[in-house]
Structure 1
Amino acid sequence: MTDTDSRAETRSLRINDNAPGFSARSTTGEVSLADYRGRWVLFFSHPADFTPVCTSEFIAFARAKERFAACGCDLLGLSVDGLYSHLAWLRDIERSFGVKVDFPLIEDPSMVIAQAYGMLDSAAPSSATVRATYVIDPKGVIRAIVWYPTNIGRSVDELLRLVEALQVSQREGASTPEGWRSGGALLEQPATTIEEAGATEGPTSAWYYRERPE
């Protein structure tokens, strides 16, 4: 049985919206989003169990779980398939690939959670469009949203980089450049006065591109 809060809507959520609360069964027991308050969460959905792209993703997520945990981020999966299908699939992944998936995989057979997050329209005839990823911060605010088509697998390394970049940007009050990796240079906001523009220091003289170390 799934329970969402009154925030449930069919429109797609936006960055900086509060993440809709929910409570549902999962492969590790009853899960509530409120249980994760104070932690970062990578909340991701997939179209169906026992499918090749989703299998490759869950293997990669399971292998990267400790890397996410090292930066204070928990993994939370979702599918419209039922709990018993989830259990059978994850057991088969362990048997076939030697990889144990021990983070929660939530069931959503009524599609209530998927619809609350705008993953699919209330009139959608199937769950085929459900492949979305939400980065939720410790206050329960959505900080990033990433969508992929059903036939293209997500990059777990890129999602980990995204979480780390969000955390560093928040902590340091700066932006991250293209391809930023942990320990790399950060970007200051552009100068807004003639004095600031004239005082630009760094590898370039461009007032709109100011780097500083992390």
Structure 2
Amino acid sequence: MALQLGDVVPNFTQASNVGDINLYDWAGDSWVVLFSHPADYTPVCTTELGEVAKLMPEFEKRNVKVLALSVDDVESHKGWINDINETQNVTVNYPILADADKKVSNLYGMIHPNANPNLTVRTVFVIDPERKLRLTITYPPSTGRNFEEILRVIDSLQLTDKYSVATPVNWKDGEDVVVAPSIPTEEAKQKFPKGVTEIKPYLRLTPQPNK
């Protein structure tokens, strides 16, 4: 069975460019972004891993640890990291799992045989501190990911975990949010003192509570 939202993700221990990593121990009380790429020394992947390195301060602000993965071995990762650092003007500052035996790839369903039976597709998993899967997105090999979108979703998840709200289309941190439909309007006005705008009884907006 494929991993589904709300599932507790399986633990694993696997080699990486910085030594063996046990997911649960390494994650601690942080959120985790686990993302796979098809192969080292390929152009789209080089730009992606460089972008993630640039965004690491943003992930850290949100208490998120980042973990990349491909089925290449440790020595391949170490050599390729030099290319990423050189071409993307970054320093790769997060681990890359060396899943040469495909243990983690198979455990998490990262290999899609009809796309390529030997390589991992571009999958993203967002895992919360309770080890639950909160987001999964899968991209085709030819399409580089938008990691700003991953950050946006994490902002939404962390906000909506704490407050009785949801985030509307194209929402960004600091913008108005949707009041949960389960809360009556009069109660919502007390719960959200910044104000509630009722567009329809089921569609009510309020300023972001923690801003």
Offset at residue 179 of structure 1 (A): 1.2
Correspondence for 2:45 = 54
| 2: CA distance, partners of 1:107 / 1:83 | 5
Instruction: Give the CA deviation at 1:52.
Output: 0.8
- Aligned twin of 2:201: 207
Counterpart secondary structure, 1:210: strand
**Correspondence 1:172 to 2:163:** yes
Using the alignment, how far apart are the partners of 2:151 and 2:57 within structure 1?
A: 11
Q: Which residue of 2 aligns with 1:24?
A: 14
Name stretches of at least 5 consecutive residues in structure 2 with no aligned partner.
188-194
- Cα distance in 2, alignment partners of residues 77 and 184 from structure 1: 31
Unaligned regions of 5+ residues in structure 1, if any?
A: 1-10
- In the TM superposition, residue 194 of structure 1 has moved relative to its aligned partner by 10
Between the two proteins, what is the percent identity of the paired residues?
34
> Is the partner of 1:29 in helix, strand or coil?
coil
1:3 corresponding residue in structure 2: none
1:44 corresponding residue in structure 2: 35
| Alignment RMSD (CA, Å) | 2.3
Corresponding residue to 1:147 among 138, 141, 156: 138
Partner SS state of residue 45, structure 2: helix
Shift in Å at residue 37 of structure 1? 2.9
Can you list the C-alpha shifts for 1:175-199, whole angstroms capped at 9, x where unaligned? 1111111122121122587988xxx
Q: Deviations over 1:23-69 (max 9, x none)?
A: 11111222111121310001100010011111110111000011110
- 1:68 correspondence with 2:62: no
1:91 and 1:40 mapped to 2: Cα distance? Answer: 27
- Could you tell me how far apart the structure 1 residues matched to 2:114 and 2:138 are? 19
The one-letter amino acid of 2:18's match is T
Q: What is aligned with 1:158?
A: 149
Output the TM-score relative to the length of structure 1: 0.86
Contact between 1:26 and 1:105, CA under 8 Å: does it hold in 2? yes
Aligned partner of 1:127 in structure 2 is 118
Counterpart CA distance in 2 for 1:91 and 1:125 is 27
Choose 32-41 or 93-102, whichever is displaced more: 93-102
Q: 1:193 to 1:94 in 2, by over 3 A?
A: closer
Residues in 1 aligned to 2:145 and 2:11: alpha-carbon distance in whole angstroms: 25
